[in-house]
Structure 1
Amino acid sequence: MSEKSIMIVNAVLNPNEKEAFTYYSEQSVPLFKEAGAIPIGKYKIAKTIIGSKKPQVVVIMEFPNSESIINVFESEIYKELLPFREKAFLELDVFIGK
């Protein structure tokens, strides 16, 4: 039996590319849901206490396992969204936690 995994996204949005972000979100969220994602939370970051990173938003989702997360990012459908992702975010980090 696979262990549940958490996807943690730290992001800084590009304020000049709101349309790219909207399109990316509208297209990527269903892919994550199809992979079994359960949203845990979406948080705006008010202040960085330790470290030099200043993410604007953190998104946390639970998945059935790590493979389900990786499969989304490696899918051909997701890869078609890469140009929109590149425009939508100034910084984007995605992590898998256990």
Structure 2
Amino acid sequence: MTTHVIVLSKPDPAKADGARRYADAVQPLLKAAGVIPTLRAPVAASVAGKTTPATVLVLEFADAAAASGFFDQPAYRDLIPLRDDSFAHMEIHILGG
């Protein structure tokens, strides 16, 4: 069953180059995994919450195992330090029912 992943992110303005390198490195991993980005949009306003992300990204995976496996793969895990250093805010949620 198709599984969606929601990514809420806000790059650290002082580390924009790192955020760009992270995004550039993730794209080929997504493509190789056959992941379909179904939505990418800037956040216009927040109604609730303490942090307003800059961007929302929705990714479509074949199933929950594929989504979990994507984030557990060594190539993605190698990017986590860059991700954590380059973003002021980053949340990744695997949706399920």
Q: TM-score, normalised by structure 1?
A: 0.88
Aligned-CA RMSD value:
1.3
User: Which residue of structure 2 aligns with residue 35 of structure 1?
Assistant: 33
Contact 1:36–1:68 (CA<8 Å) still a contact in 2?
no
Deviations 1:46-81 (A, max 9, x none): 111133331111001111011111112111111111
**How far apart, CA to CA, are the structure 2 residues paired with 1:63 and 1:37?**
5
Contact 1:6–1:63 (CA<8 Å) still a contact in 2?
yes
Secondary structure at the residue paired with 2:89? strand
**How far apart, CA to CA, are the structure 2 residues paired with 1:88 and 1:18?**
7
Corresponding position: 1:8 with 2:1: no
Q: Any runs of at least 4 consecutive aligned residues in structure 1 with deviations exceeding 3 A, and if so which? A: none
Amino acid at match of 2:12: N
**What percentage of residue pairs aligned between the two structures are identical?**
25
Secondary structure at the residue paired with 1:17? helix
Please list every run of 5 or more consecutive structure 2 residues that lacks an aligned counterpart in the other structure. Answer: none
**How far apart, CA to CA, are the structure 2 residues paired with 1:51 and 1:20?**
26
Q: TM-score, normalised by structure 2?
A: 0.89
Please list every run of 5 or more consecutive structure 1 residues that lacks an aligned counterpart in the other structure. Answer: none
**How far apart, CA to CA, are the structure 2 residues paired with 1:23 and 1:79?**
15
User: How many aligned positions are there?
Assistant: 96
User: Which residue of structure 2 aligns with residue 50 of structure 1?
Assistant: 48
**How far apart, CA to CA, are the structure 2 residues paired with 1:33 and 1:69?**
13
